[in-house]
Each structure stands twice: as structure tokens, then as C-alpha cells.
């Protein structure tokens, strides 16, 4: 940066010697460079803070260095914007400031505690921002940043206020950071608090922000406080704590691998962070210091990623704790990883010593520690068990050192006891190190205990007898008894309540047994035991087995005497329908016989009138929607025992299944449905429209609260369905500022009733001017005696603090009004439905519908029932009568019982049959019927709106069928029948009518079905278009009377002009054959003129062509005939020029004649004078010369340059010149179309030096060039 400034300064100083303007550029550049240095440096991980106390308490306090405030009203400011501010405009530590501005806020009791922020107003726009700029100068990347700061409110007011937080790396593109947002400050009445106001404290971190070294970090707090009634808020107690990327290599020590009793592999990772790092490991039994260092593999680490390093160390001692750490060295700088400690494994034990002092139940032995240190612990396995500290065997290993094993309990030897005589055992030893890592067991050693020769007794356990009723003897239990080396008899028992036998089936068990050894001095018996309690008590005890010279042994015996009664448990119900249910219970017999048991149910909870059933039981024939009570019961010798009373409720009746209608006629049908189990009767509805469920809840339907100028006609409209059954319906107004009610609450009786639309009636409340508040936000609640019905608001939502909506949050309407909304507007619901949820809110601009159905709203009512809730008893069908033919009807049915009414059945649609044809009369139209024409006949008494085929005869002739005869709503139709003169006086008879729009029987007519026919003869009539009484002989029709616009005369010579017919006298010079004698102005001298200068060639295409001026002529019509047809031009003078025409050409001959219009007439006379010919100049003549298209410059000459302009004659009226240029050497032809009369060779696609070109020219005026235009005399140019 320093070099950049120096070089630029030298450059500008040099320029200063030549131009004073450079001084300004130097100033701008220096200002720019200075701006680059304007930031707060983040040079380390130390926390930076700013509490603004240092700015003092003045009005125009300067912000701390590198802090700015944005231009007022800027929604997304930039750090470098020229209008940003570095000082406040107002200060407040007390009082009630109201002016908007950049505020230096102060604590009211300690004015040195400052904060900076804003308060907006009509003159100080919203939003506003505070910004600060930091630069990372730490030399490394800044990974994360943690922030803390406080938002402090000094003024509360009614406008919402919030602050949002942003970050940027360039000061112009901002990223929202919602963790730093304040959220919305609560609104309220205008108030100030400079001591204990609202404080919103923020503490959060932005991770992964990754600002590089010399990178920038901009922060911005956006204050949004509205344009009026602003809250006053400030920023205070800011801190920033960076987390910087580590400097130098990152060294990590990892867990060792490949661990044995004498070697290990040391592991770690080294991230060189772009350096070249020498890797190694410090190692030893101590860390102060480490005794060894081993080079890592790899030995040199580079790059910017973590690289795995390792080293293998051998020659270690077993079960010794070692320490190591990874080390990275860059030059003399050393970075150490953390220490990791580990134990080497213990050596596997060798085979244990052979056993000594072996007895029938024990032996002694010793083992070698296998070179492990004395701290090593060992566990000993004997068979499948483990040796415990007291010499017995257990299920889990017991660990102790070699020394401890050898001195306890007998010094020098390890004793194993509690063994089985004459049994071979395997025993072995395993070790574990200080980290608890175990070795495998060493090799097994073998020992066999000695046989036993002393008298002994052993017995198996006896299974307990449990609870047994008194007076009952159980089946036999048993245990095995073994006696060896016995010297005499062995006695079993006695024990109270128990008896014994050596055979299970022995009918006589004794209180004790005496058993004698066999010849081998052994006893091997199964002892059978029965339990016979006589008292209610426990008989638990031990059976003593003694004698035979052996030690006594015992066998535990358990049993309890009981005398329990039966138990009855009610379990539950299942499969509950409207008429059935399954109930279950559990009966557990006691000590006496159960004489009776089952379940009972009743409709009373005291079980009165109960009905007893089996267990389990499926109950049928129940009453729908009825609560039933039930319980289990049992009777034994102790009496009756009842279970807990439970209950179930049968379901409502199922909805019937509607069946298609039957016996359908044009006026009736039979409605049908399926039976419903449990139904006593059915109720029927019949409607001419689909069934609709109408809401029974009133709703707010339309309202108006703000408009252009002084607010007026402000109102709220509600809709009340006819099904509403509530009381106390009330409309309450709410103020969103504070959430309280305001104004008058209106009951239904105080509202103005409007229209009723089907099932819905409209009511409205119209307030005085400005009676409905203008929002931001406000609202209203609709409630009745049962509570709140709805709570709506506009321009936002809020929570009510009193009234019927207290504690509830309003539902905001998405549409709003403003002070520019046209008068008589509203916000109203639109859509189709029968409840508020069916509609959506929309704006009605300048056309409210207070008290009426809204524009765009369709309220669907329940329709008109022809049959409503008709009780049809238990019948499954019902005839519905009095219906209209070919009409769609709907029916549905409900099942009923004493306690239940089902839902409606599926609706059934039925269309009544068509009515059979009917007939009243037939008559001919009063209009005259002509020979060979269609006469109109009227047929009455048909089915209204029906379509039929009608058969008729004339004078009893052949039958004729007229199809697609459509009757109107009154049952009348008209038909056309072709009549002839011979039909006059004959009779038309209708013989049959058959409906074709429905399937019915045909109606055959035999009486009252005739009409007399009247027909008139025909004459010729001629069209009289101009209504002058004279017809056009070319347009004729034959009829029996003149149709409108026709007459019997056919002598009109011009039926389009009422001023021409044989009855008129000729009018001179009006251009009309008034008397129709076949000529104009007959009897009068012709009124014409003669063209002048006939047969001449015009000197100029725009030359004047004229005729003789004629007295009394006020207009001249010249007719010009040429190659492109005839053109006319009307002039109020006796001359014209060809250039006034739409089409004219050079070198062309035209024929011209003139017709006059006499003064006092609107038409020309209708005839021309004699024609004359005129020719236009022959500019393309092969002769060429002046005035022709031959080149007028450089013809036959050499051009000075290729770009020299070559010109032809500039001709009047010419719109385009076509230059044809031929290379005389190659024959190549090029054409160039120009609107100007000159060109140069350089305008061509190809041109050459030293070349002669032949140039000729064609021209056009109004018409395009023809395919082969005529070119004038050529010229050469070189």
C-alpha cells in the first residue's frame, strides 16, 4: 500500500506541472487510499468491545472511529456511500423527545452510560442503519466470530419496531444474520424510560465465516421504526471475539496400534499448514522428561492437510506404562501433540505347577509369573469355574497379583477346595496388564481328586407344593437320596403336614421312613412326598435325613394350607355394535365346589333386573346407543361372589343403505332402503335439490373502515343462518393498540336487518363518521352467550386484553383499505358455500353491498323439502306422490330407536317418468295461405316443453309425420304444412302424437282433432327497394298477396333511387334518368367540355393538362386511361397534372376526357366529353441527350477517381433510378437502385481501375420496376 501511494503521488505531482486539474485527481486518490485504512484491526484472538460511553452526552456526539450511521430512509445502505454520517443529531437522557434523528441515548441516572440509535418521524425517514468496519490483520484466517450486544429501548410508542442484523465482506452486499435480530418490540402508549427500559441482549456466534488475512468484515444493524409514532431504540455494549486459524503446524497424537508385550506402533497426524515440518515422537516411561525420541514415517511433512505419521518401538518390558507424543519441528520451533499413555501387554502365563496335597475335595498348586512385573494380576480357571479368594470356585474371574495368590490363605501354595471326589480337573492361569487387557489362558494342567471313603449322604431338592386347600392331600412330589459307605440305617423325617413313601402308588404314606443300606453299604432311593394341610397356615420346613454314620443333611419342603372361596373377575367387553356385544369373565374356583357361575348384565348400574348368561357370552337384541352394566358371578360353599361391575355403550344405529326407487311414474315413486339392525322406525326426507348441510354459526361477512377524505358509511355486516340457535349474539369492536375494546357493542336486536337469502339473513351495524378505527391493527369480535365465535382484525393481528376475545389472538384479514380507497368500498367475502370457511376475502371498490348478498358470493341453502323427517314406522319403503314429471328428486332416510337416531343414508337420485302425450286442439293461422306454400298450424294442449312427432292427414289422404315438434312452456307448438290451391276447403286431421323426448305410449286421436284448410291463388310481385311504388322487373316472387317491400308494378329503371321512375319528369344535368326513358338530359342541350392540346407530348411529366373552362361548371372529373387502367381525379378547376394521380409513368401515352358538375347539382352530369391523347416525355429514348436518362456527366470520359460521382438527369416525379453497369472486359453486369440521380463505382460490389464500363439508366415513378425495365441511351466511362 505504501509503494502504491508513493508511486501515485509522484505521478500526480508530474501532472501538476502541466495541468492544475491533476491536483483534484491527486486529492481524490489520496482520499481513496486513506479510506482503505479506515477500519478496526483484528490482530489477535482478543475480544474487541464498544459501549459508546466515550462519545459523551452532547447532541452532536462523534461516533467512535470506523462507526457510521446511514442516510435516513435507506433500506440497504453501503459503507462507502458519501452521505453516511459519523455523528448524532440529538441526545436524550431524560424528558420526552419527539423529533426524529440520530440519537445519542443516555441512562437517566448515569448519563455517562451511552447508546446510539434512532427515532424516526415525518421529517426523519425510516429505516436507518448503524455500521462498523473491521479488518483481519492477524496474519491468519479468522474462522469464527462471536458477538454480544444489547438493544435498549428508551421510548415506547404505538408503531411496531424491530432491528435486524447483517454482515458483509465488501460493505455493499449484506447477508442477514437472524441470530442477531431483536424481534418485535411490543407497542404501547407513548412513554419514556431512561433507567429500566426494555433491554434485548444478544449473544451468538457465526461459525465458518472464514475471513482471510487482510479481509474485511462489515456489520450493520437495520433499525425499522416506522414513519410516525416511532419508538426510540439504541445499540449498546458491543463485543466481538474472533477465533483465528492456528499458526504453524497442527500436531495431534493418536492412539497406539500393534501393541504387544514388547513392542508398539506410535501414531499421530501433522498438518504442516504450508510449512516443511520434521516429524518425530517423544517416548518414555515418564513425561518429565521423555527418555527417547523416534523419527516418524514420513519424516518430513508438507502441505495443508493432516498427514498420518507413525514410528515402531520394540524392546519394551511387559505390563509397563509408557508415554508418547507426536512432535512437529519447523527450524527451531517445536509444536507438541498431547501426551498419550498406554500399557504393554502382559506375558502369557506358562503352564501352572503340578498339584500337591491332593484330597477327595481339594488340592494345592503354584504358578510362575512368566516374567511379568509384580503388579501384574492373574485369574485362575478350574474346570469351567474360576478360583475365588477363599479357595472355592465361582462363576466370574477373581484377579490378584502372583504374590497375593501365594500368601493367601496359605503362604507358599494356592489351595482349591469344594471339589468333587474322584474327578479330573483342568486348571490354567491368565494375566492382565495395568489397562485391564487380558492374555489368553496358559496351557492346562491336570489333577484328579481322590475317591471318597467316608459315610456320606446327598439329596436332590424337593419342588414346593404351593397353596393347597385344607383337608386335601396333594399328588406326590419327590427327591433323590444317595448314601455311600454307610454303617447303619438312615431315617427320613418327620415333618408336620408331610408324609413319605419309597413307592409313588403306595396308598399309605408314613410320617417318616427308615432305610437300610444294601450289601455295598449304599442307599439309592427316590423318596415320594405328599402334602396334607389341616390348618390355614404355612408348613414350610426342612426334612431331616440322618443316620448311617454320615453327617445329617436336610431337604427343604414348602407348602401352605388355605381355605379360599371362589373368585369372579369381570374381564371386559368386545365386538360392541348397536345391538350386540361380547362380554367375558374369569372364574377361579376356591376350596369348595362351584355350584353356579357366569355373567349377568343390566341397564342399571346397581344391576337390578339383570339377566344372567354364560361365560363368555355374546349378547344380542340390545338397544342402540344404550349403556349396559355387567359383571361375572360365582356361587360356592362360601356364598355368592361378584366381580367388578363394568359397562359398555352400544353404538349409534348404522345409517341405512338407500336403495334405488321403484314403481316410478310421472307423479310418484316408491323410496326403498335396507333394514338396520336395532331400528324401530325410519324417517324420510325428499327434496327437489341435492341435500346441503347449512352452517349454524353466524359470521362477519363484510366491513368498511377507511376511505378517501373524511371517513363515512363505515359498517360491519354479519350473516345469521336460520339454523343458528344461540342467544346473546353481540358484535364488539377492538383497538389493536393495547388490545382493549372501544365504542359500542351491538346486539342482534340493535342491528339493521337486511335481505334474507334462502337460509341466511343479513344484519349490519353502521357507525357514525370515523366510528370504525383505521387499523394498524384493529378488529372486531362476534360472540354469544356460549362464548367467542370469531375474532377478526385488519392491517395485522393482535391479542385481546379484555372483552369476549380476552387472551385470544385475532385472525388477520389479508385485504386492507387506505385513505385513498374510494368511498362506498368494502372488504367482503366471495365464493360459494354455506359457512364462513367456504369463502375468501376480497376488496369491493366503490360498490359495497351492505345488507345484501355480496357481489361474487353464492350462498347455498338447504333447499326445499317435499317430505321432511317423515316417520314411516318400521317400513322399508314409502310411496312419494304429487310429483312433477321428468323431474329429478332426491331422498334419504334415517333409522331410529328409543335412544338413537342414525346418520343419513346415502342420498338416492330418482327422475320421475315422462308424462304421456296430450292434445287439445289444432287450428290454421289467420295469415293467408298461398298456393304451393307453407301454412302455419297451431297445436295446443301438448305436454309443456316436450318434443313430439305428429301424424296428420289431409282430406283422409296419406298419413304424414312431422318430427321434432317442440311445445313451449304453455304446451303450444306451431308446424308448417305445404298447401296447394286444391286443398282449399279440405280438412286437416291430427291422428297421432308420440313423444320423442321420452319413452311413453303414443296418443291416437279420433275426435276433436281437425281444422278446416284455407288456401289462396298466387300472383307475381316485384321488389320495390326505394319504396317509390315502382318495382324492379328483375326481382320477382309469386304469392297470393304482396309481401312487404314488393309491388305489382315492374317498370322502375333504378330501384335504388326514388328519384327515378316512369312517373317523374326529367331533371336536367342531375346525372339521373328521372323519367326512365333510357337517356340523360333528354330534351336538354348536353353540358360538356373539350380537352385542349390534344395529341401532344408533355414537356414535363408534371405539365398541366386542361380543358375548356365552361360556364356554370363547378367541378371537373378527368378520366385518364393508360397501361395500368382507368384513373379519375375530381378538380374544382379545369386542369390537372399526371403527378397528381396515384399512378403515372414516363414514355407513356394516356387518353383523357372530362365530365362536368353543374352549379346547383350534387351529381356529375353522367357523360364525358370527347377524349384526347397526351404522351409523357420519352426519357429512356435510345437517342439520349439532355433531359434523358443518358449520363449527363463523364459520358465517354475517364473518371478522375473511382469515387467520382456519375450523374444522370434529375427527373420530376422519379422515385428511383436504376443504374446498370456492364464491365466491357468481362461482361459482368451489376445494377444499383438509388433514390438519387447519381452514384459512384465504389458503391458497387465490384469495381476496378483501368476498366471501361457501359452505363445505362432506367427510372420508375409510382409503380415498381417491371421485370424487364426500359433503359435509356448508354454511355461509357473509364
Q: 973 in the Ramachandran plot: left (φ > 0), alpha (ψ -120 to 50) or beta?
A: beta
pLDDT for the residue numbered 14 = 35
Confidence class of residue 197 from pLDDT cuts 50, 70 and 90?
Answer: confident
Question: Which residue's entry shows cell 434485548?
Answer: 200
Mean residue pLDDT across the chain? 91
pLDDT for the residue numbered 770 = 63
Query: The domain that contains 947 carries what CATH number?
Result: 2.60.40.10
Mean pLDDT lowest among 304-308, 777-781, 997-1001, 1181-1185: 1181-1185
Are the C-beta atoms of 897 and 676 separated by less than 8 Å?
no
Number of folded domains in the chain?
11
Closest CA to 878 of 863, 867, 886, 864: 867
Residue 768 scores a pLDDT above 80: no
Q: Which residues are CB-contacts of 10 (< 8 A; sequence separation ≥ 6)? A: none
In a domain, 820, yes or no: yes
Between CA 340 and CA 323 the distance in angstroms is: 6
Please indicate, yes or no, whether residues 174 and 236 belong to a single structural domain of this protein.
yes
Please indicate, yes or no, whether residues 680 and 622 belong to a single structural domain of this protein.
no
Residue 737 scores a pLDDT above 50: yes
Residue 116 scores a pLDDT above 90: yes
In a domain, 947, yes or no: yes
In a domain, 24, yes or no: no
How far lies 706's CA from each of 762, 769, 782, 795, in Å? Answer: 22, 10, 21, 12
Please state whether beta strands 128-136 and 216-224 pair in parallel, antiparallel, or not at all (unpaired): antiparallel
In a domain, 401, yes or no: yes
Please indicate, yes or no, whether residues 557 and 644 belong to a single structural domain of this protein.
no
Confidence class of residue 1263 from pLDDT cuts 50, 70 and 90?
Answer: confident
In a domain, 349, yes or no: no
- Tens-digit pLDDT profile for residues 1077-1101: 888 988 899 999 999 999 999 989 9
Please indicate, yes or no, whether residues 993 and 1044 belong to a single structural domain of this protein.
no
Closest CA to 1073 of 1088, 1055, 1046: 1055
CB burial of residue 358 (10 Å; 0-12, 13-18, 19+): middle
Indicate the residue among 401, 421, 448 that finishes a domain: 448
Residue 22 scores a pLDDT above 80: no
In a domain, 1190, yes or no: no
Please indicate, yes or no, whether residues 80 and 186 belong to a single structural domain of this protein.
yes
Are the C-beta atoms of 844 and 824 separated by less than 8 Å?
no
- Tens-digit pLDDT profile for residues 1007-1039: 999 999 999 888 899 999 999 999 999 999 988
Please indicate, yes or no, whether residues 820 and 883 belong to a single structural domain of this protein.
no
Residue 18 scores a pLDDT above 70: no
Overall average pLDDT of the 240-249 stretch: 86
Residue 159 scores a pLDDT above 80: yes
Please indicate, yes or no, whether residues 1138 and 1259 belong to a single structural domain of this protein.
no
Overall average pLDDT of the 781-810 stretch: 96
- Tens-digit pLDDT profile for residues 376-417: 999 999 999 999 999 999 999 999 999 889 876 556 789 999
Mean pLDDT lowest among 244-248, 321-325, 852-856: 244-248
Are the C-beta atoms of 1192 and 1207 separated by less than 8 Å?
yes
* Grid cell digits, residue 636: 360356592
Q: Which residues are CB-contacts of 1268 (< 8 A; sequence separation ≥ 6)? A: none
Provide the CB-side half-sphere exposure for 92 (13 A, CA).
26
User: Percent of the chain at pLDDT above 70?
Assistant: 96
Residue 25 scores a pLDDT above 50: no
Indicate the residue among 311, 343, 375 that finishes a domain: 343
Range of the domain at 997: 921-1017
Please indicate, yes or no, whether residues 79 and 176 belong to a single structural domain of this protein.
yes
Please indicate, yes or no, whether residues 218 and 134 belong to a single structural domain of this protein.
yes
pLDDT for the residue numbered 410 = 57
In a domain, 599, yes or no: yes
Q: Which residues are CB-contacts of 860 (< 8 A; sequence separation ≥ 6)? A: 692, 694, 758, 832, 833, 834
Please indicate, yes or no, whether residues 45 and 129 belong to a single structural domain of this protein.
yes
Please indicate, yes or no, whether residues 53 and 92 belong to a single structural domain of this protein.
yes
Please indicate, yes or no, whether residues 713 and 851 belong to a single structural domain of this protein.
yes
pLDDT for the residue numbered 406 = 81
Amino acid at each position: 500500500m505504501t509503494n502504491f501511494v508513493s508511486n501515485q503521488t509522484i505521478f500526480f505531482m508530474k501532472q501538476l506541472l502541466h495541468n492544475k486539474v491533476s491536483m483534484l485527481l491527486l486529492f481524490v486518490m489520496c482520499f481513496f487510499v486513506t479510506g482503505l485504512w479506515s477500519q478496526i484491526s483484528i490482530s489477535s484472538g482478543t475480544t474487541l468491545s464498544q459501549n459508546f460511553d466515550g462519545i459523551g452526552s452532547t447532541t452532536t456526539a462523534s461516533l467512535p472511529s470506523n462507526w457510521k450511521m446511514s442516510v435516513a430512509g435507506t433500506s440497504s445502505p453501503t459503507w462507502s456511500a458519501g452521505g453516511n454520517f459519523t455523528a448524532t443529531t440529538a441526545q436524550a437522557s431524560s424528558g420526552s423527545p419527539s423529533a426524529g434523528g440520530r440519537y445519542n441515548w443516555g441512562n437517566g441516572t448515569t448519563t455517562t452510560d451511552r447508546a446510539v440509535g434512532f427515532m424516526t418521524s415525518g421529517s426523519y425517514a425510516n429505516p436507518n442503519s448503524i455500521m462498523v468496519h473491521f479488518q483481519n490483520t492477524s496474519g491468519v484466517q479468522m474462522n469464527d466470530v462471536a458477538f454480544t450486544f444489547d438493544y435498549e429501548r428508551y421510548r415506547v410508542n404505538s408503531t411496531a419496531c424491530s432491528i435486524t442484523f447483517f454482515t458483509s465482506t465488501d460493505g455493499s452486499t449484506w447477508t442477514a444474520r437472524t441470530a442477531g435480530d431483536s424481534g418485535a418490540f411490543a407497542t404501547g402508549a407513548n412513554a419514556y424510560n431512561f433507567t429500566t427500559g426494555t433491554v434485548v441482549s444478544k449473544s451468538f456466534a457465526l461459525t465458518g465465516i472464514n475471513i482471510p488475512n487482510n479481509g474485511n468484515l462489515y456489520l450493520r444493524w437495520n433499525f425499522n421504526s416506522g414513519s410516525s409514532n416511532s419508538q426510540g431504540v439504541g445499540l449498546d455494549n458491543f463485543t466481538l471475539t474472533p477465533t483465528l486459524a492456528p499458526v504453524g503446524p497442527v500436531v495431534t497424537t493418536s492412539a497406539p496400534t500393534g501393541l504387544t508385550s514388547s513392542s508398539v506402533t506410535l501414531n499421530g497426524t501433522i498438518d504442516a499448514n504450508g510449512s516443511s515440518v520434521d516429524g518425530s515422537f517423544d517416548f518414555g516411561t515418564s513425561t518429565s522428561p521423555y527418555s527417547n525420541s523416534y523419527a516418524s514415517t514420513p519424516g518430513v511433512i508438507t502441505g495443508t492437510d493432516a498427514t498420518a505419521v507413525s514410528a515402531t518401538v520394540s524392546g519394551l518390558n511387559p505390563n509397563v506404562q509408557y508415554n508418547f507424543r507426536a512432535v512437529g519441528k519447523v527450524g527451531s520451533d517445536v509444536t507438541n501433540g498431547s501426551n498419550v499413555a498406554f500399557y504393554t501387554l502382559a506375558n502369557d502365563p506358562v503352564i501352572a505347577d503340578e498339584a500337591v496335597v491332593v484330597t477327595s475335595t481339594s488340592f494345592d498348586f503354584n504358578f510362575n509369573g512368566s516374567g511379568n512385573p509384580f503388579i501384574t494380576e492373574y485369574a485362575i480357571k478350574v474346570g469351567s469355574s474360576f478360583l475365588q479368594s477363599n479357595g472355592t470356585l465361582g462363576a466370574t474371574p477373581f484377579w490378584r497379583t502372583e504374590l497375593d495368590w501365594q500368601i493367601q490363605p496359605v503362604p507358599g501354595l494356592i489351595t482349591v477346595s469344594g471339589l468333587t471326589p474322584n474327578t479330573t480337573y483342568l486348571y490354567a492361569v491368565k494375566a492382565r496388564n495395568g489397562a485391564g487387557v487380558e492374555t489368553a489362558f496358559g496351557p492346562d494342567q491336570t489333577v484328579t481328586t481322590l475317591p471318597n471313603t467316608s459315610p456320606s449322604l446327598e439329596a436332590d431338592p424337593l419342588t414346593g407344593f404351593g397353596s393347597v386347600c385344607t383337608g386335601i392331600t396333594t399328588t406326590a412330589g419327590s427327591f433323590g437320596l444317595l448314601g455311600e459307605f454307610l454303617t447303619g440305617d438312615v431315617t427320613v423325617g418327620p415333618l408336620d403336614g408331610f408324609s413319605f413313601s419309597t413307592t409313588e402308588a403306595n396308598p399309605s404314606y408314613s410320617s417318616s421312613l427308615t432305610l437300610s443300606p444294601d450289601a455295598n453299604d449304599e442307599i439309592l432311593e427316590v423318596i415320594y412326598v405328599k402334602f396334607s394341610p389341616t390348618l390355614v397356615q404355612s408348613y414350610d420346613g426342612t426334612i431331616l435325613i440322618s443316620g448311617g454314620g454320615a453327617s445329617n443333611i436336610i431337604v427343604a419342603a414348602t407348602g401352605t394350607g388355605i381355605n379360599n372361596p371362589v373368585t369372579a373377575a369381570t374381564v371386559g367387553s368386545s365386538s360392541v355394535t348397536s345391538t350386540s356385544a361380547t362380554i367375558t369373565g374369569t372364574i377361579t374356583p376356591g376350596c369348595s365346589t362351584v355350584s353356579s357361575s357366569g355373567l349377568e348384565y343390566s341397564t342399571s348400574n346397581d344391576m337390578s333386573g339383570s339377566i344372567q348368561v354364560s361365560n363368555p357370552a355374546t349378547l344380542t337384541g340390545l338397544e342402540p346407543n344404550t349403556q349396559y352394566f355387567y359383571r361375572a358371578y360365582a356361587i360356592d360353599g362360601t356364598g355368592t361372589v361378584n366381580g367388578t361391575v363394568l359397562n359398555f355403550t352400544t353404538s349409534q344405529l348404522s345409517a341405512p343403505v338407500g336403495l334405488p326407487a321403484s314403481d316410478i311414474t310421472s307423479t310418484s315413486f316408491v323410496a326403498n332402503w335396507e333394514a338396520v339392525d336395532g331400528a324401530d322406525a325410519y324417517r324420510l326426507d325428499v327434496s327437489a335439490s341435492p341435500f346441503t348441510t347449512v352452517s349454524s354459526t353466524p359470521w362477519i361477512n363484510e366491513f368498511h373502515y377507511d376511505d378517501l377524505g373524511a371517513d363515512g358509511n363505515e359498517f360491519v355486516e354479519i350473516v345469521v343462518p336460520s339454523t343458528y340457535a344461540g342467544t346473546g349474539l353481540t358484535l364488539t369492536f377492538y383497538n389493536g393498540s393495547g388490545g382493549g375494546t372501544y365504542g359500542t357493542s351491538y346486539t342482534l336486536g340493535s342491528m339493521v336487518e337486511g335481505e334474507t337469502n334462502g337460509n341466511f339473513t343479513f344484519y349490519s351495524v353502521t357507525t357514525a363518521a370515523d366510528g370504525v378505527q383505521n387499523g394498524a391493527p384493529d378488529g372486531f369480535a362476534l360472540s354469544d352467550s356460549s362464548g367467542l365465535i370469531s375474532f377478526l382484525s385488519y392491517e395485522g393481528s393482535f391479542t385481546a386484553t379484555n372483552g369476549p376475545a380476552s387472551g385470544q389472538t385475532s385472525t388477520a384479514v389479508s385485504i386492507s383499505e387506505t385513505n385513498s380507497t374510494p368511498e362506498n368500498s368494502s372488504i367482503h367475502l366471495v365464493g360459494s358455500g354455506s359457512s364462513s370457511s367456504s369463502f375468501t376475502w376480497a376488496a369491493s371498490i366503490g360498490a359495497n353491498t351492505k345488507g345484501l348478498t355480496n357481489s361474487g358470493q353464492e350462498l347455498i341453502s338447504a333447499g326445499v323439502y317435499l317430505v321432511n323427517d317423515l316417520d314411516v314406522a318400521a317400513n322399508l319403503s314409502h310411496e312419494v306422490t304429487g310429483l312433477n314429471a321428468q323431474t329429478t328428486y332426491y331422498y334419504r332416510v334415517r333409522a331410529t330407536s328409543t335412544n338413537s337416531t342414525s346418520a343419513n343414508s346415502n342420498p338416492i337420485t330418482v327422475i320421475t317418468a315422462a308424462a304421456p302425450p296430450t292434445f287439445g286442439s289444432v287450428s290454421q293461422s289467420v295469415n293467408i295461405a298461398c298456393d304451393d306454400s307453407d301454412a302455419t298450424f297451431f297445436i295446443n294442449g301438448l305436454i309443456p316443453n316436450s318434443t313430439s312427432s305428429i301424424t296428420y292427414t289431409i282430406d283422409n289422404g296419406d298419413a304424414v309425420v312431422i318430427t321434432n315438434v317442440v311445445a313451449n312452456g304453455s304446451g303450444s307448438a306451431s308446424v308448417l304444412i305445404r298447401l296447394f290451391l286444391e286443398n282449399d276447403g279440405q280438412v286437416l286431421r291430427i291422428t297421432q302424437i308420440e313423444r320423442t323426448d321420452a319413452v311413453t305410449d303414443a296418443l291416437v286421436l279420433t275426435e276433436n282433432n281437425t281444422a278446416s284448410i284455407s288456401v289462396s291463388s298466387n300472383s307475381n310481385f316485384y321488389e320495390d327497394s326505394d319504396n317509390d311504388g315502382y318495382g324492379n322487373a328483375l326481382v320477382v316472387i309469386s304469392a297470393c298477396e304482396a309481401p312487404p317491400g314488393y309491388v305489382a308494378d315492374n317498370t322502375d329503371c333504378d330501384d335504388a333511387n326514388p328519384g327515378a321512375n316512369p312517373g317523374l319528369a326529367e331533371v336536367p344535368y342531375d346525372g339521373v334518368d328521372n323519367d326512365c326513358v333510357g337517356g340523360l338530359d333528354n330534351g336538354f342541350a348536353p353540358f360538356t367540355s373539350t380537352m385542349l392540346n390534344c395529341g401532344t407530348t408533355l414537356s414535363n411529366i408534371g405539365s398541366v393538362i386542361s380543358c375548356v373552362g365552361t360556364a356554370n361548371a363547378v367541378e371537373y372529373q378527368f378520366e385518364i386511361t393508360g397501361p395500368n387502367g382507368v384513373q379519375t381525379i375530381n378538380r374544382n378547376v379545369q386542369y390537372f397534372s399526371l403527378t397528381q394521380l396515384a399512378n403515372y409513368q414516363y414514355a407513356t401515352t394516356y387518353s383523357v376526357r372530362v365530365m362536368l358538375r353543374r352549379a346547383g347539382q350534387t351529381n356529375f352530369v353522367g357523360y364525358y366529353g370527347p377524349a384526347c391523347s397526351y404522351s409523357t416525355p420519352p426519357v429512356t429514348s435510345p437517342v439520349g441527350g439532355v433531359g434523358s436518362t443518358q449520363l449527363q456527366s463523364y459520358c465517354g470520359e475517364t473518371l478522375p477517381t473511382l469515387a467520382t460521382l456519375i450523374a444522370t438527369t434529375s427527373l420530376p416525379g422519379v422515385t428511383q433510378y436504376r443504374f446498370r453497369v456492364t464491365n466491357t472486359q468481362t461482361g459482368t453486369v451489376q445494377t444499383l437502385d438509388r433514390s438519387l440521380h447519381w452514384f459512384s463505382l465504389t458503391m458497387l460490389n465490384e469495381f476496378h481501375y483501368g476498366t471501361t464500363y457501359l452505363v445505362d439508366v432506367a427510372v420508375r415513378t409510382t409503380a415498381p420496376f417491371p421485370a424487364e425495365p426500359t433503359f435509356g441511351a448508354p454511355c461509357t466511362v473509364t
